[in-house]
Amino acid sequence: MKVEREPKPIDKTIIVSLAFQEQEMSMELKCEEYYDALCAERGNYWDVREVGSEKSGQTSSFKFTDPKLGNVEVSVPWCGDIVKGRMIPLNHILPKINGETYWLVSMENGVGKYQTSKHMTKTVKEAYFNLSMSINGVQLK
């Protein structure tokens, strides 16, 4: 049975900063605890999400245009990971370029090699760019 409960605000300032090539931007995240009452298998429980989201896995993203690559979207990490202090590796940040998801393959001198697939059985697109993200001044590695 679904039992609605009021979300509980999390009183913690979270500033996510992104540096992509020559561009730098930041946003403030607001997180809250909410009662997930839709899970019959696991049972109902309290979880963490971004304010304004329906589920814990939905996140905001930086959306901008890069002069060389085109339209870029970089999602911020999940509120639950941030609030619970989990280490978030940089290779978990999967930028979308012109609608295609890119994975970090390697890093050399601060420049990342990104590919559209980790499997060489598919046609793979590559892109090379600088991407760094920090949460409250702490750089993701």
Q: Is residue 2 part of a domain?
A: no
In which band, very low, low, confident or very high, does the pLDDT at 8 lie, cut at 50, 70 and 90? very high
Q: Is residue 140 part of a domain?
A: no
Nearest partner of 116 among 97, 92, 132, 130, judged by Cα: 97
Q: Is residue 58 part of a domain?
A: yes
Q: Each residue of 78-94: pLDDT tens digit?
A: 999 999 999 999 999 99
pTM for the model:
0.88
Higher pLDDT, 128 or 5: 128
C-beta separation of 10 from 32 below 8 A: yes
CA distances from 33 to 29, 36, 80 (A): 14, 9, 9
Number of domains into which the chain is organized: 1
DSSP 76: P
Q: Is residue 45 part of a domain?
A: yes
- Given a cut of 60, is residue 95 above it in pLDDT? yes
Q: Is residue 127 part of a domain?
A: yes
Question: What range does the domain containing 102 cover?
Answer: 8-133
DSSP 5: -
CA atoms of 75 and 57, how far apart (whole Å): 11
The whole-chain average pLDDT of the chain stands at 90
Q: Is residue 138 part of a domain?
A: no
Q: Is residue 141 part of a domain?
A: no
Q: Each residue of 15-63: pLDDT tens digit?
A: 999 999 999 999 999 999 998 876 666 677 888 999 999 888 889 999 9
Q: Is residue 72 part of a domain?
A: yes
Q: What contacts 98, CB < 8 A, 6 or more positions away?
A: 69, 70, 71
Higher pLDDT, 36 or 6: 6
- Given a cut of 60, is residue 1 above it in pLDDT? no
Which of 71-80, 119-128, 131-140 is predicted least confidently? 119-128
